[in-house]
Amino acid sequence: MNTDYRQARYKMDLLMERGEGRMLKDNPLPEGIARKKAPDIPDLPKHEVVRYFNRLSQMNYGIDTGFYPLGSCTMKYNPKYTEKLASLPEATDIHPYHPEEFSQGNLEIMWELQNSLAELGGMHSVSLQPAAGAHGEITGLMIAHQYHKDNNEERNEIILPDTAHGTNPASVSMLDYNLLEIPSKEGCVDLDALEEAAGDNTAVFMITNPNTLGLFEKDACQMAEIVHDAGGLLYYDGANLNAIMGKTTPGAMDFDIMHFNLHKTFGTPHGGGGPGSGPVGVTEELASYLPVPIVEKKGDGYRLNYDLENTIGRVKGFYGNWLVLLKAYGYILKEGKDGLERATERAVLNSNYLREKLQGVLDLPYKPLRKHEFVLSGKRLKDKGLKTKDLAKRLLDYGYHAPTIYFPLLVDEALMIEPTETESKDTLDGFAEAFASIMDEDEETIKEAPKNTAVGRVDETKAIRDSVLSYMMRD
Amino acid sequence: MSEIPDDLKYGEEHEWVKITDGKVRYGITEYAQDELGDIVYVELPEEGEEVKLGDMAGVIESVKAVSDLYAPISGKIIEVNTELEAEPELLNEDPYGKGWIAVMEIGDESEVESLLSAQEYKELIK
């Protein structure tokens, strides 16, 4: 099989190592405020800086370079028209302190997005404030906390299944709740275990559906009944909404609170730290608890409402990540309801197609039919003295981004693959072929991988044990 | 194949246990350290702490994942291996020796009886 892929490889000094800062000869500023020492930034010609960053980008890998099946992350191709939208002067040349009457168009877009998301989530109301998925989670849990408090209830436990995303327990501990983890049965929530766990202390039960194994939790409505009967609320982590969007909603599964990952499901770029956007949706009963402001329509005009009766207050400065909101709005308008439903179907089809092609190559624990992603086990690599990590590294040599590895923890030597809806059959076939080809290679080649990338195998252990976290910490 | 010394007993969460005069010394098995990969951080159980079989007693962090440590039997922790705080790699390099985790007073003899033999542990990880 063809391994012609080569990533650019430049030996370059860091920009910071290329010279010294420079003082102006005739500084026009008065003495008291003029700089006395040159800045700690090298004085370089602009083109040298441009070349530096261009070369860095050639040593990088992204969704515009190739296939990126990073499970749980939904790295689909992001259409460029949303970037165009977000660079329009109407989008960028505005200021959060502009009076409402000068920002009616922007507010209208936010109002319509609130409504579209509410419809897609089966929720009553939506706040666009949170700036990331995990931010949405903590906002949602704060809403639940305030709700229980107003009902004079002290509930200090949050129940999670063992398939939960890592951010879920993190949100739980940020709010000082006790975490109760329940084991799965055949990869899904065990209703008996939930029944046993739910009680007077249950504040919230939190899941993703489909879960991190890519399995649809078909007992969601029974779970809702169990948790509601115990007096708790249900939180839907929207990270995997792209597997059900347009087909069903968290509202239809009787969930009370949810967040949307606009930066995943709605085609806005992410990774490398954002920017993200994690709007929160709630039922009618909880609508007055949303963070403020939310956009309202009054007559023909739009305004920001800061006066919700039970609001948990503000969770972000100003009005959410406006440009990400705008991109998601553009994506929803362009796709329309049918387009979004088709995206869901394609995501699930692609995942099952690739799963079918790979399940003979590695082991597939749990039931075969998956939603938007699936998890293989690299257990059989052990016979060759190899690990999942080695296989993941070798995939890089073939020009593919590696899948998510060693997550979820309940699968031994896990490999989590999410092809997304935007990839073609040819791409999936090529990836499956690379996979099979690696399985036939000798151990040495795999263990020494990657060879075709800008950087070879890095010493992850040393990086953790001996962390150098900034340029200033270098010897 | 992982090394599984015959003179030790084993817990189902991949701990080894060595019994000497009413006390046990324990750590994690060769198999466990291999599964975890390079260990980069250890949070030891607390000296003087009373624990029950299966209780969480400490945390191990490797390049792959963060895992809880479990008490292999019930009893009191009387000594912990503080060397591991500075050199967590001992758990990888010498799991049955310098990589020991703690010493416990035995709380319940019957639990010691029901620990796995080397042969039984071998079956478990097959």
pTM: 0.90
A444 CB neighbour count, 10 Å cutoff: 8
Q: Which helix (H) or strand (E) holds A344?
A: helix A322-358
Give pLDDT tens digits for B33-86: 998 999 999 999 999 999 999 888 999 999 888 888 999 999 999 999 999 999
Residues facing A329 on adjacent strands = none
CB–CB contact A460 B63 (8 Å): yes
* Torsion sign, CA atoms A167, A168, A173, A175: positive
Q: Which residue of A has its CA nearest to B34?
A: A387
Pick from A442, A432, A435, A461: nearest CA to A378: A435
Contact B70, B15 (CB under 8 A): yes
Q: Which residue of A has its CA nearest to B86?
A: A465
Residue B25 counted as domain residue: yes
Considering just the CA atoms, what is the radius of gyration of chain B in Å?
13
| A-chain residues near B64 (CB < 8 A) | 389, 406
| A-chain residues near B40 (CB < 8 A) | 461, 464-465
> What pLDDT score was predicted for residue B105?
95
Residue B121 counted as domain residue: no
Q: What is the CATH number of the domain that holds B83?
A: 2.40.50.100
A188-189 and A202-207 strand pairing:
unpaired
| B-chain residues near A389 (CB < 8 A) | 37, 64
Residues A47, A33: Cα–Cα separation, whole Å: 31
Between B125 and A297, where is the model more confident? A297
> What pLDDT score was predicted for residue B73?
94
Distance from CA of B39 to the nearest CA of A (A): 8
CA B100 to chain centre: 7
Query: Average pLDDT of chain B?
Result: 93
Give pLDDT tens digits for A185-234: 999 999 999 999 999 999 999 999 999 999 999 999 999 999 999 999 99
- Identity (one letter) of the amino acid at A424? S
Q: Which of A416, A465, A466 to substitute to test the interface with B, most B CBs within 10 Å? A: A465
Residues A125, A193: Cα–Cα separation, whole Å: 32
Q: Which of B1, B34, B40 to substitute to test the interface with A, most A CBs within 10 Å? A: B40
CB–CB contact B63 A461 (8 Å): yes
pLDDT band of A470, cuts 50, 70, 90: confident
| A-chain residues near B41 (CB < 8 A) | 464
Residues A101, B9: Cα–Cα separation, whole Å: 76
Distance from CA of B90 to the nearest CA of A (A): 13
Residue A460 at interface with chain B, using a CB cutoff of 8 Å: yes
DSSP string across A86-144: HTSHHHHS--TTS-GGG-HHHHHHHHHHHHHHHHHHT-SEEE----SHHHHHHHHHHHH
Cβ-based burial of A285 (10 A; exposed 0-12, middle 13-18, buried ≥19): exposed
Contact A167, A235 (CB under 8 A): no
Residue B123 counted as domain residue: no
Residues facing A127 on adjacent strands = A280
Give pLDDT tens digits for A425-454: 999 999 999 999 999 999 999 999 999 999
A361 CB neighbour count, 10 Å cutoff: 15
CB–CB contact B40 A406 (8 Å): no
Residue B34 at interface with chain A, using a CB cutoff of 8 Å: no
Residue B16 counted as domain residue: yes
Cβ-based burial of B70 (10 A; exposed 0-12, middle 13-18, buried ≥19): buried
Give pLDDT tens digits for A357-373: 999 899 999 888 899 99
Number of domains in chain B: 1
Residues B103, B50: Cα–Cα separation, whole Å: 12
Residues A255, A234: Cα–Cα separation, whole Å: 5
| A-chain residues near B32 (CB < 8 A) | none
Distance from CA of B71 to the nearest CA of A (A): 19
Contact A415, A404 (CB under 8 A): yes
pLDDT band of B20, cuts 50, 70, 90: confident
Within the 123-152 window of chain A, which residues sit less than 8 Å (CB to CB) from chain B?
Answer: none
Q: Which runs of E-coded beta strand occur in B1-126?
A: 9-10, 15-20, 23-28, 39-43, 50-51, 56-62, 66-70, 75-80, 102-106
> What pLDDT score was predicted for residue A372?
96
Residues A113, A123: Cα–Cα separation, whole Å: 13
Q: What are phi and psi of A268, to 5 degrees?
A: -115, 140
Share of chain A above pLDDT 90, in %: 85
> What pLDDT score was predicted for residue A268?
84
> What pLDDT score was predicted for residue A31?
87
Residue B56 at interface with chain A, using a CB cutoff of 8 Å: no
Q: For residue A6, what are its two tokens?
A: 């080569």
Distance from CA of A63 to the nearest CA of B (A): 25
3-state secondary structure of B56: strand
First to last CA, chain B: 10
Give the domain range for residue B96: 9-107
Residues A385, B51: Cα–Cα separation, whole Å: 37
Contact A414, A375 (CB under 8 A): yes
pLDDT at A455 over 90: yes
Give pLDDT tens digits for A125-176: 999 999 999 999 999 999 999 999 999 999 999 999 998 988 999 999 999 9
pLDDT at A6 over 70: yes
Distance from CA of B33 to the nearest CA of A (A): 14
Residues A40, A54: Cα–Cα separation, whole Å: 23
Distance from CA of A170 to the nearest CA of B (A): 13
Residues 6+ apart with CB under 8 A from A132: A263, A274, A276, A277, A278
Domain ranges of chain A: 80-335, 342-463
**Fold classification of A342-463 (topology level):** Aspartate Aminotransferase, domain 1 (3.90.1150)
CA A358 to chain centre: 25
- Torsion, CA A281, CA A286, CA A288, CA A292, rounded to 10: -30
Residues A23, A29: Cα–Cα separation, whole Å: 12
> What pLDDT score was predicted for residue A83?
92
pLDDT at A46 over 80: yes
Query: Average pLDDT of chain A?
Result: 94
> What pLDDT score was predicted for residue A385?
92
Q: Which residue of A has its CA nearest to B92?
A: A461
Residues B84, B27: Cα–Cα separation, whole Å: 11
Partner residue opposite B40 with nearest CB, options A389, A409, A465:
A465
Residues A399, A405: Cα–Cα separation, whole Å: 17
Q: Which residue of B has its CA nearest to A414?
A: B64
Q: Which of A180, A381, A393, A464 to substitute to test the interface with B, most B CBs within 10 Å? A: A464
> What pLDDT score was predicted for residue B1?
59
> What pLDDT score was predicted for residue A475?
65
pLDDT at A115 over 80: yes
Within the 92-121 window of chain B, which residues sit less than 8 Å (CB to CB) from chain A?
Answer: none
What is the residue whose two structure tokens read 């200090």?
A156
pLDDT at A471 over 80: no
Residues 6+ apart with CB under 8 A from A80: none
pLDDT at A2 over 70: no
pLDDT band of A274, cuts 50, 70, 90: low
Residues facing B56 on adjacent strands = B70
> What pLDDT score was predicted for residue A368?
81
| B-chain residues near A461 (CB < 8 A) | 38, 40, 63
B15-20 and B9-10 strand pairing:
antiparallel
Q: What are phi and psi of A53, to 5 degrees?
A: -70, -35
Give pLDDT tens digits for A298-347: 999 999 999 999 999 999 999 999 999 999 999 999 999 999 999 999 99
**CATH code for the part of the protein at A80-335:** 3.40.640.10
CB–CB contact B63 A409 (8 Å): no
pLDDT band of A265, cuts 50, 70, 90: very high
pLDDT at A1 over 80: no
Residues facing B62 on adjacent strands = B39
Residue B20 counted as domain residue: yes
CA distances from A170 to A135, A177, A182, A330, A406 (A): 11, 10, 16, 32, 18
Residue B117 counted as domain residue: no
CB–CB contact A464 B65 (8 Å): no
